């Protein structure tokens, strides 16, 4: 059995590049020209596809969001998050609020280039 997340997109290849770059993985073509697969670091896939014209998927915000996380290599998760946030914005993300320090690390909510909510989370490094 294999696990995956499915994300409808207007521009699947571009959105696959966005997520692949932030996850530091190489997106792969999927089952059709309008389908891309991004390997999920913990296993499985982020499946990005253009919905059928017979069953459109309008852009909308909901309670489900993609959470991308990494562990700080040094002792400062905020510095790592700010660099990652800058990279995400250069790829077309929009920050929803300033980065926030939490007890477990630092996080920032953004919208991906198609308006989907994404949590960028940098956990504290190993002691």
pLDDT at 42: 86
Task: Please list the residues that pair with 94 across neighbouring strands.
Answer: 111
- Which of 1, 8, 9 has its CA nearest to residue 44? 1
How many degrees, rounded to 5, is the angle at CA 87 between CA 10 and CA 71?
110
pLDDT at 47: 92
Would the CATH topology of 4-49 be identical to that of 66-123? Answer: no
- What is the domain partition of the chain in residue ranges? 4-49, 66-123
φ and ψ at 8, to 5 degrees?
-75, 145
Tell me: the pLDDT tens digits for 101-119?
988 889 999 999 999 999 9
CATH superfamily of 66-123: 2,3-Dihydroxybiphenyl 1,2-Dioxygenase, domain 1 (3.10.180.10)
- Which of 61, 70, 71 has its CA nearest to residue 111? 61
| Entry pTM | 0.81
CATH code assigned to 4-49: 3.30.720
Quote the mean pLDDT of the chain.
88
pLDDT at 20: 97
pLDDT tens, residue order, the chain (127 aa): 567 888 989 999 999 999 999 999 999 999 888 999 999 988 999 999 887 666 656 666 666 788 899 988 877 899 999 999 999 999 999 999 999 998 888 999 999 999 999 999 998 876 4
pLDDT at 6: 87
pLDDT at 25: 97
């Amino acid at each position: 059995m294999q696990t995956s997340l499915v994300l409808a997109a207007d521009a699947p290849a571009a959105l696959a590049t966005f997520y692949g770059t932030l996850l530091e993985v190489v997106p792969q073509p999927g089952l059709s020209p309008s389908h891309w697969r991004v390997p999920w670091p913990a296993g499985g896939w982020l499946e990005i596809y253009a919905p059928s014209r017979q069953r459109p998927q309008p852009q909308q915000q909901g309670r489900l969001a993609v959470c991308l996380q990494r562990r700080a290599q040094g002792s400062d998760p905020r510095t790592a998050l700010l660099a990652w946030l800058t990279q995400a914005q250069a790829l077309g993300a929009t920050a929803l609020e300033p980065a926030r320090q939490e007890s477990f690390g630092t996080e920032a909510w953004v919208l991906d280039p198609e308006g989907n909510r994404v949590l960028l989370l940098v956990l504290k490094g190993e002691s």
